[in-house]
């Protein structure tokens, strides 16, 4: 069975973690499959993505049973290698950041648990919809390690500093309702997959160029100074109203951290 399945209905891509017998715990094969799935979606004509997990959980985190194989390499050297994301991420970070980097909206449908690596993968989505009984945790401290899959890029954009610290220091699971109050969860729904699919279908019906421009602009707004954000607004809007082909050039330059602004 493939570790991750990818399908598409109309303009909505459906990406599902597919290791239900292990509650979709992440091993090396799944890391590779997640990156491949992100690249496959990026090359498609999808306008939105639904990210979910098969079986009883979204993702229970790292597969502890396979951890020995991962650590049999020179792990410190592997962690430091910038192998993906135009030289910005290692392979484990890319499994989460590939979804953040997509130029189309990604909606994660969470149920069961989203622990550790599973939560960081979900953080790569633009929006997270969770079932009421979902449990979430920044689990790494339980094993004496820290979040290292892009969580420290994505978490500070969602939660207050004190919340971030509590989640990281304690590794304690929280409810979906608490996650919504703290900013980890966008909304709680009885059927998160159906809700995520309906939202993705709604988004896919909007102007694809405008949606891509909006996501790129939001990413800039979250990471750049005021003057750069204001100029980006003007650049993207000018492209949409005048020369839409310039929009992709602007977004690509920003993604590569090349000079975008004169």
pLDDT, residue 89, reads 87
Residue 16: name the closest of 105, 121, 131, 100 by CA. 121
Greater pLDDT, 123 or 67: 123
Class of domain 4-203: alpha beta
pLDDT, residue 260, reads 38
pLDDT, residue 78, reads 73
Residue range 204-256, pLDDT digits in tens = 999 999 999 999 999 888 877 677 767 776 776 777 767 666 666 666 665 55
User: pLDDT-derived band of residue 137, with 50, 70 and 90 as boundaries?
Assistant: very high
Contact between residue 155 and residue 123 where contact means Cβ atoms under 8 Å apart: yes
Domain span(s) for CATH 1.10.12 in the chain: 207-255
Distance CA 97, CA 219 (A): 13
Domain span(s) for CATH 3.90.226.10 in the chain: 4-203
Distance CA 106, CA 203 (A): 10
Tokens of 46: 């999808």
| C-alpha torsion 22→24→27→30, nearest 10 | 140
Per-residue pLDDT at 157 exceeds 80? yes
Residue range 21-51, pLDDT digits in tens = 999 999 999 999 999 999 999 999 999 999 9
Residue 95: name the closest of 27, 192, 175, 173 by CA. 27
Residue range 15-24, pLDDT digits in tens = 999 999 999 9
Distance CA 137, CA 208 (A): 34
pTM of the model: 0.87
pLDDT, residue 95, reads 95
Question: Which residues are within 8 A (CB) of 58 and not within 5 positions of it... i.e. 6 or more apart?
Answer: 17, 24, 52, 108, 109, 110, 111, 112, 113, 114, 118, 122, 134
Distance CA 40, CA 8 (A): 11
Mean per-residue pLDDT of the chain: 88
Tell me which fold the domain 207-255 belongs to. Lyase 2-enoyl-coa Hydratase; Chain  A, domain 2 (1.10.12)
Q: How far is CA 241 from CA 56, 65, 75, 104, in A?
A: 46, 54, 49, 20
Burial of 155 (0-12, 13-18, 19+ CB in 10 A): buried
Find how far residue 188's CA is from the centre of its chain. Answer: 18
Residue range 72-89, pLDDT digits in tens = 566 667 777 787 887 888
Per-residue pLDDT at 257 exceeds 50? no
Per-residue pLDDT at 185 exceeds 90? yes
pLDDT, residue 136, reads 98
Residue 216: name the closest of 192, 182, 193, 250 by CA. 250
**Weakest mean pLDDT among 43-47, 94-98, 106-110, 146-150:** 146-150
Tokens of 122: 């979900």
> DSSP readout, 9-23?
ETTEEEEEE--GGGT
Distance CA 53, CA 207 (A): 28
Tokens of 177: 């309702």
What average pLDDT does range 143-167 have in this prediction?
92
């Amino acid at each position: 069975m493939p570790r991750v399945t990818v399908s598409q209905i109309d303009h909505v891509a459906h990406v599902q973690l597919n290791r239900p017998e292990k509650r979709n715990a992440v091993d090396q094969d799944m890391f590779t499959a997640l990156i491949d799935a992100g690249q496959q979606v990026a090359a498609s004509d999808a306008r939105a993505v639904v990210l979910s997990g098969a079986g009883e959980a979204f993702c229970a985190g790292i597969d502890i049973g396979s951890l020995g194989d991962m650590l049999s390499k020179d792990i410190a050297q592997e962690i430091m290698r910038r192998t993906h994301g135009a030289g910005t991420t290692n392979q484990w970070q890319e499994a989460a950041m590939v979804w953040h980097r997509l130029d189309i909206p990604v909606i994660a449908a969470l149920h069961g648990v989203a622990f550790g690596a599973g939560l960081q993968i979900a953080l790569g989505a633009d929006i997270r919809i969770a079932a009421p009984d979902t449990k979430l945790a920044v689990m790494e401290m339980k094993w004496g390690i820290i979040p290292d899959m892009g969580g420290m890029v994505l978490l500070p954009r969602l939660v207050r500093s004190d919340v971030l610290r509590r989640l990281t220091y304690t590794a304690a699971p929280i409810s979906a309702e608490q996650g919504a109050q703290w900013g980890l969860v966008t909304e709680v729904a009885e059927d998160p997959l159906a809700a995520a699919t309906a939202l993705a279908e709604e988004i896919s019906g909007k102007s694809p160029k405008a949606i891509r421009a909006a996501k790129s602009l939001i990413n800039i707004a979250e990471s750049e100074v005021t003057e750069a954000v204001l100029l980006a607004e003007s650049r993207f809007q000018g492209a949409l109203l005048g020369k839409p082909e310039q929009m992709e050039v602007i977004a690509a330059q920003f993604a590569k951290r090349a000079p975008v602004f004169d």
